[in-house]
Structure 1
Amino acid sequence: MKKTLFLCCMLFSVLIFAQEKSGAKQFWENLQKHCGKSFEGEVIEGTENDAFRNKKLVMHVRNCDENTIRIPFFVADDKSRTWVLTYENDRIQLKHDHRHEDGSEDKVTQYGGITSNSGSPTLQFFPADQQTCDLIPNAAANVWWITLDEKSFTYNLRRIGSDRLFTVKFDLTKTVATPSAPWGWKD
């Protein structure tokens, strides 16, 4: 009887602990499951003449460690963009690392934001941070968000107070060939 009661208490403790993980932590762990994999995407929302339409779009969850996930985002042969996610103090930060073909930083790089709360396991919001406001004054009203479920990853941008909306959706049910290193990286 004591053994059964002990096992029940242990199981209950495990269930309570699992439920105590924040949305940010669950989101982080779910994204890490895709490390090393590449996925093709498509523009769902955006202007008709944006630079991403009708091009092959690939994200590669290339580098994961305990607190940083780097996801290069390729637009056809353009390997200049990497989304850098950092997990710290139950918040996630999104930065955009832009590079030239020689690997040097673009003058417009390292913009993004940090979540204002722990979010949910499937959705994280990133309002523009002060560095972004200083670097790109028009982007002060930017909000980025990422949705993540078993089937898809979406990257979104909305400029509040404008019609600007951009969404690219990646199919997580089918991996694609891993591309070569993004600009500024080595294989």
Structure 2
Amino acid sequence: MNSQLKLLIFACLISFNALSQEITPAKKFWNTLQSHCGKAYEGVLELPKEDKDFGGKTLTMHVRKCSETEMKIPFFVGEDKSRTWILTYKNDRIALKHDHRHKDGTEDDVNFYGGITTNTGKSDIQVFSADAKTQQMIPGAATNVWWITIDESTFTYNLRRLGTDRVFKVVMDLKNPVKKPSAPWGWKE
């Protein structure tokens, strides 16, 4: 084999290797969120402005537990420590589940509902449509669409129930970490 052909083959192999290592939008999103592991942030309710359960309360998220494939993010509403968002990364897709607990740590009857992305999304937004388990558990939530956005300054958690007026949006300030809260209900320190 002449040296020019060897050089061409070598260049092709390098190009192929570089392309195969390209980071997908889902992985970029995952990596950005992972960079906040161990940190806690406060935020505000943007929609609906007059929500009786969330309005006027301190909203805190804590990117508490992280691994290569799972992140657990407790979300506190005032003194209510019942909610944890669970994100799972597998096969370049991200799943979102909601873990709800009672004060004694037992599971709520409505628990582990959510959805999974249908594509790699974008590096700053991932969209989760309600899955079959959610539809069976909460028939009214069959048209739920959740999305999470993240950039250098904000993390948003959003919900829209298509075909209804149901909308929910929380915006967390990533520029100003706060003191880490205690464990959510049902967790051991």
TM-score, normalized by the shorter chain, greater than 0.5: yes
Three-state SS of the structure 2 residue aligned to 1:94 is strand
1:49 Cα deviation from its structure 2 partner = 3.2
Give the number of aligned pairs: 178
1:163 Cα deviation from its structure 2 partner = 1.3
Residues 149 and 102 of structure 1: CA distance in aligned 2, closer, same or farther (over 3 Å): same
Q: 2:83 is matched by which residue type in structure 1?
A: R
Per the alignment, residue 105 of structure 2 pairs with 103
Aligned ranges for residues 10-159 of structure 1 at < 5 Å? 16-17=18-19, 20-46=22-48, 48-159=50-161
Three-state SS of the structure 2 residue aligned to 1:34 is coil
State the distance in 1 between where 2:79 and 2:17 align.
Answer: 46
Three-state SS of the structure 1 residue aligned to 2:174 is strand
Structure index of larger Rg? 2
- The unaligned stretches of length 5 or more in structure 2 are 1-6
- The unaligned stretches of length 5 or more in structure 1 are none
State the distance in 2 between where 1:55 and 1:18 align.
Answer: 46
Per the alignment, residue 184 of structure 2 pairs with 182
CA RMSD, aligned part only? 1.9
Cα-to-partner distance string for 1:79-106 (whole Å, 9 max, x where unaligned): 0000000000000000000001111100
Three-state SS of the structure 2 residue aligned to 1:81 is strand
State the distance in 2 between where 1:132 and 1:102 align.
Answer: 24
Q: 1:23 is matched by which residue type in structure 2?
A: P
State the distance in 2 between where 1:14 and 1:76 align.
Answer: 51
Residues 13 and 41 of structure 1: CA distance in aligned 2, closer, same or farther (over 3 Å): farther
TM-score when normalising by structure 2: 0.89
Residues 123 and 19 of structure 1: CA distance in aligned 2, closer, same or farther (over 3 Å): farther
Three-state SS of the structure 1 residue aligned to 2:71 is strand
State the distance in 2 between where 1:42 and 1:13 align.
Answer: 46
TM-score when normalising by structure 1: 0.90
State the distance in 2 between where 1:28 and 1:162 align.
Answer: 30
State the distance in 1 between where 2:124 and 2:52 align.
Answer: 27
Three-state SS of the structure 2 residue aligned to 1:20 is coil
1:19 Cα deviation from its structure 2 partner = 7.7
Q: 1:83 is matched by which residue type in structure 2?
A: W
State the distance in 1 between where 2:149 and 2:95 align.
Answer: 14
State the distance in 2 between where 1:133 and 1:82 align.
Answer: 20
Cα-to-partner distance string for 1:132-173 (whole Å, 9 max, x where unaligned): 000000000000000000100000000001111100000000
1:53 Cα deviation from its structure 2 partner = 0.5
Three-state SS of the structure 1 residue aligned to 2:126 is strand
1:20 Cα deviation from its structure 2 partner = 2.0
